[in-house]
Structure 1
Amino acid sequence: MAEHAPDASGKEPRAEAKGASVIVNVIQVLRCFTLDEPLLGVTEIALRVGLHKSSVSRILATLEDQNIVERDEESRKFRLGLGLIAVAGPLLANLDVRRVAFPTLAELSETTGETAALTIWNGGEAISVEQIPSSKQVKHTSPMGSRYNTALSASVQVFLAHEPESEVRGLLESGSVILDPDTPGGIEAYLLRLAAVRDAGYAVNHGETNIEEVGLAAPVHDHRGAVIAAVMIAAPYYRVPAERLQVLGRACRQAATQIGLRLGALPR
């Protein structure tokens, strides 16, 4: 029986096939770890991937050496390690949040019947970078690149709600972010409002900056847990009675969560 001839690279086909098989096994082992089951033992993994326990042990030992997996001190089971961040980091950092958000924004606009937008924060303003206009004849839209620095704007509330209190005070006191001096309770009341935004997961501007417009916004988190954008719904005031605010707020929050998950954020 003739032997397998080396290919152009000089490698034996069987060796290449074996190498590919090892890689597949490693990937299968890594895919066993999920959000529902972050801790797994050798026996559990072996049963799921159909490999002998000794093979799984060797794979895990190599992955542990590279910090791809690590042992839980109490259970001695394995979980994914921080070494994965070094592998996935470049991909996560280069994901275009605008591109990732587009289909979710389109769906949000369709299901709510209102304009859906995406804003980012430049340190003192919320800037519109994407928008799906409402299909209805009467709608609220804004030009791409529109900037918002009024404290009661929904997207501004979202970004400030996740900034340190000292930073928020500095922006308000310097006038970089504008809070009407006649606002009841002033800065202290506004800080309490931001705390409520964090708890609810979305912010509401019910005709407070424009009597004809309602805005709702929710934060988009990345894989580090940082707020990198906000999803916003804009609608005519007459179409959003108080009882509809919670429905739109939840829809906005869900859309922001979906975008965050695609960026590697953990479920909240």
Structure 2
Amino acid sequence: MSAMNSAEPPKEPMAKAPRGTSPVATAMAVLRCFSPERPVLGVVEIAEEIGLHKSSVSRMMSTLEAEDLVEQDPLSKKFRLGLGLLSVAGALLANLDVRRAALPVLTELTERTGETSSLVIWDDFAAVIVEQVPSANPIKHATELGTRYSRVEDASVRVRLTALPEDERERFFTATPSSRAAYRRLTANDADGIAVNDGDTTPDEVGIAAAVHDHRGRLIAAILLAVPRYRVDQERLSHLVGDCRAAADDLTRALGGPPAQRVKLVD
């Protein structure tokens, strides 16, 4: 965590008010209020900045939230940008180093297993697909870029939760108390940055997620295999887990991190 600076930071320039009454102009004005310096904003703050009544901003925030373009913190009720923006900004994804490094790894994993492989990164506790190589099989599991997973039954979500310090994990359970029992039950079979969703969210699908770390040993992503359940018995599941783990290790090495750091806690 960076040290506090006693000097007052320079004020950010105010966002431009929307021109006319176009909903698109209003939405863009709202989204431009957010910045690295001010990633979290309340309705009143946004309304004051763009010169609209807070009721109008509140309605717009509800629309943007429904489209995953913003998301609301359940405790503070303030908003931040959502990773749904990535699903309409494909060019932006090309600039993510982890995504570029992951594509050849995912391609090789899909060729080796014959199944759909994906890269997920996290938006707080949710896992978001930012790259995917679909299976060539006519029957397969594939999803759109920007798809979000947020339940403990999802393998990639458990990879994230398990690596968190206990106090951070408790924040998730405070917001979703009914998830605690499922998490305890499912993580009994998770180990070493690997989690398996054996039909827990979709009866006909098996999901396998493996943690990816950067050069500092921080958990930054996961590789996810999605397989039709009818193609998976215990022997093949064991092989798929090994393949997914090996791919995650390859990507971790490509990012400069040793695979042994897989179990380190995230910051």
Q: Quickly name the TM-score band, shorter chain normalised.
A: 0.5 to 0.7
- Which residue of 187, 192, 202 maps to 1:210? 202
Q: CA deviation at 1:109?
A: 0.3
Range moving further from structure 2, 239-248 or 226-235: 239-248
The answer to whether structure 1 residue 264 and structure 2 residue 256 are counterparts is yes
Quick one: structure 1 residues 265 and 196, their matched pair in 2 at CA, closer, same or farther if it must change by over 3 Å?
Answer: farther
The answer to whether structure 1 residue 227 and structure 2 residue 219 are counterparts is yes
The equivalent of 1:115 in structure 2 is 116
Aligned partners of 2:229 and 2:185: how far apart in 1? Answer: 25
CA deviation map 1:78-101 (0-9, x unaligned): xxxxxxxxxxxxxxxx97000001
Q: CA deviation at 1:242?
A: 2.6
Residue identity in the other structure for 2:117: A
| Superposition TM-score, scaled by structure 1 size | 0.58
The equivalent of 1:170 in structure 2 is 171
- Which residue of 232, 235, 244 maps to 1:243? 235
Q: CA deviation at 1:142?
A: 0.5
SS at match of 2:244: helix
- Which residue of 242, 246, 264 maps to 1:254? 246
Q: CA deviation at 1:105?
A: 0.2
Aligned partners of 1:155 and 1:145: how far apart in 2? Answer: 14
Q: CA deviation at 1:224?
A: 0.8
The equivalent of 2:141 in structure 1 is 140
Aligned partners of 2:146 and 2:118: how far apart in 1? Answer: 11
Aligned partners of 1:103 and 1:143: how far apart in 2? Answer: 19
SS at match of 1:243: helix
Quick one: structure 1 residues 193 and 203, their matched pair in 2 at CA, closer, same or farther if it must change by over 3 Å?
Answer: same
Q: Structure 1: give runs of 5+ residues left out of the alignment.
A: 1-93, 180-186
The equivalent of 1:201 in structure 2 is 193
The equivalent of 1:68 in structure 2 is none
Q: CA deviation at 1:106?
A: 0.2
Q: Does the CA-based 8 Å contact 2:128-2:148 persist in structure 1?
A: yes
Q: Structure 2: give runs of 5+ residues left out of the alignment.
A: 1-94, 261-267
Counting aligned pairs with the same residue, the percent is 46
Q: CA deviation at 1:202?
A: 1.1
Q: Does the CA-based 8 Å contact 1:149-1:178 persist in structure 2?
A: no
SS at match of 1:218: strand
Aligned partners of 1:259 and 1:154: how far apart in 2? Answer: 18
Q: Does the CA-based 8 Å contact 1:150-1:178 persist in structure 2?
A: no
The equivalent of 1:97 in structure 2 is 98
Aligned partners of 1:241 and 1:99: how far apart in 2? Answer: 33
The equivalent of 1:149 in structure 2 is 150
Q: CA deviation at 1:201?
A: 3.3
CA deviation map 1:46-95 (0-9, x unaligned): xxxxxxxxxxxxxxxxxxxxxxxxxxxxxxxxxxxxxxxxxxxxxxxx97
Q: CA deviation at 1:252?
A: 0.4
Q: CA deviation at 1:192?
A: 6.8
Quick one: structure 1 residues 161 and 195, their matched pair in 2 at CA, closer, same or farther if it must change by over 3 Å?
Answer: farther
| Superposition TM-score, scaled by structure 2 size | 0.58
CA RMSD of aligned residues (A): 2.0
The equivalent of 2:59 in structure 1 is none
CA deviation map 1:223-263 (0-9, x unaligned): 11111000000011111123321111111011001001011
The higher radius of gyration belongs to 1
Q: CA deviation at 1:189?
A: 6.5
Q: Does the CA-based 8 Å contact 1:160-1:194 persist in structure 2?
A: no
Aligned partners of 1:117 and 1:110: how far apart in 2? Answer: 13
Residue identity in the other structure for 1:248: L
SS at match of 1:110: helix
